[in-house]
Amino acid sequence: GENVEQHPSTLSVQEGDSAVIKCTYSDSASNYFPWYKQELGKRPQLIIDIRSNVGEKKDQRIAVTLNKTAKHFSLHITETQPEDSAVYFCAASRREYGNKLVFGAGTILRVKS
């Protein structure tokens, strides 16, 4: 089955700097890659996703890139702000098989002001 590895497990950046979180997946048939943000005690919230027919997607300060050949995808946050501090999870799935998400272990992002 699918296995997703996520790095780093913790990341501290200065406010205004960029943050990059990387994930690798094992199943070459996976075709959907969402990113979730989770604040303490809250539900995971979808922040951006990408399908396998796209190499990059941007939404304001957030971008995701996908390299299907290498089987890895990354989340990029620019101009980080204190409210970006949270746990971020990547996931992978096959849309045609019930979209059962397999998650990475998460990255704790701390933005220092």
The partner residues of 63 in beta bridges, in order of sequence, read 58, 76
Of 90 and 111, which has the nearer Cβ to another protein? 90
- Map the footprint of another protein across residues 62-101, applying CB under 8 A: 89, 91, 95, 98-101
Residue 45: Cβ-neighbour burial (10 angstroms; 0-12, 13-18, 19+): exposed
The contact mask relative to another protein for 12-51 (x = CB under 8 A, - = no) is: --------------------x-x-x-----xxxxx--x--
**Measuring CA to CA, how many Å separate 10 from each of 22, 57, 67?**
12, 24, 23
Positions touching another protein (CB under 8 A) are: 1, 4, 6, 32, 34, 36, 42-46, 49, 89, 91, 95, 98-106
